[in-house]
Amino acid sequence: MALHVEDEGQGEPVVLAHAGVTDRRVWDAAVPVLVAAGYRVIRYDQPGYGLSPRPTGPHSLVADALDVLAATGVESVHWVGLSQGGATGVDVALAQSGRIRSLALVAPGMSGYDWPALPGREGRMAAWERHDGAGLALEMLRLWGPLSFDEAGRLRADDPAAAVVLDQADWFLQDEQEVEEPAAEPRLGEIAVPTLIVLGDRDVEPITDIGRRYEKGIRDAGLVMLSGADHLLPLRVPDQLHPLLLDHLSRARTARN
């Protein structure tokens, strides 16, 4: 499957991987910052998202990621992933450790995590059952991007997250196509690359739990909690997130040299 890939800049390669409720555009603000800092920035739409075609059957997010590395001709990369994109970076590091130079896990997911029921499940299920893609996308935004709404529950005008999430409406109605990867937590001690974990204080509790598990399981991992941010940190607090990423990447580059 030919995924949509964007490749900009020169220097050490950095992959920006998006969340399962967004496409590559969640990283729009980060790309020019990283390119200006001297990095080659690669981002892509996962199958079914953004400009990538829908999968024709089950597929592995790890295999998709490795296909992107092959398509761009890079052997190893610094991996920056949001949510599901973070989980994929960890899974790649566990599957082929030499392919990952460092990890920046932003509000990360985790393969094999035992998820509890999340707030608003009834509304999401009702939208699914009536095949209401727009309604389901709105409920997904309420869960993962509560800062998109005012105190009365109305979508804020000119919200930066709205288009990125709501544009996935048709895809949210499709059945899951991703192959389940092996549970990551039992093997986190195998990861020996510089790792940064960034969380938002307005995110759902399981994401905070996952972040703490990564901090505990990965050697010398560092965790930062940012205020005023829900799950969509690249859109909410770019001015706080970008310096953290640049410092992390600089330290990782120095450690390699």
Cβ neighbours of residue 157 under 8 Å, at least 6 residues apart? none
Cβ neighbours of residue 173 under 8 Å, at least 6 residues apart? 128, 131, 133, 136
Q: Are 167 and 135 in contact (CB under 8 A)?
A: no
**What would the pLDDT profile of 37-85 be if each residue is shown by its tens digit?**
999 999 999 999 999 999 988 999 999 999 999 999 999 999 999 999 9
Structural domains of the chain, ranges and CATH numbers in brackets: 5-115+179-256 (3.40.50.1820), 121-172 (no CATH)
Cβ neighbours of residue 238 under 8 Å, at least 6 residues apart? 29, 30
- In this predicted structure, the answer to whether residue 211 has a pLDDT above a threshold of 90 is yes
**What would the pLDDT profile of 3-21 be if each residue is shown by its tens digit?**
999 999 999 999 999 999 9
Q: Are 42 and 13 in contact (CB under 8 A)?
A: yes
CB-side exposure of 228: number of CA atoms within 13 Å?
Answer: 7
Q: Take residue 138 and report the two structure tokens written for it.
A: 């709105």
Neighbouring-strand partners of residue 196: 104, 222
Q: Are 80 and 246 in contact (CB under 8 A)?
A: no
- In this predicted structure, the answer to whether residue 255 has a pLDDT above a threshold of 80 is no
Average pLDDT, the chain: 96
> What's the rounded mean pLDDT across residues 98-110?
98
> What's the rounded mean pLDDT across residues 120-125?
96
Give residue 96's pLDDT: 97
C-alpha 176/C-alpha 247 separation (Å) is 36
Q: What is the percent of the chain where pLDDT is above 90?
A: 93
Q: Residue 228 CB: number of other CB atoms within 10 A?
A: 12
C-alpha 61/C-alpha 87 separation (Å) is 10
Q: How would residue 1 be classed by pLDDT, with cut points 50, 70 and 90?
A: low
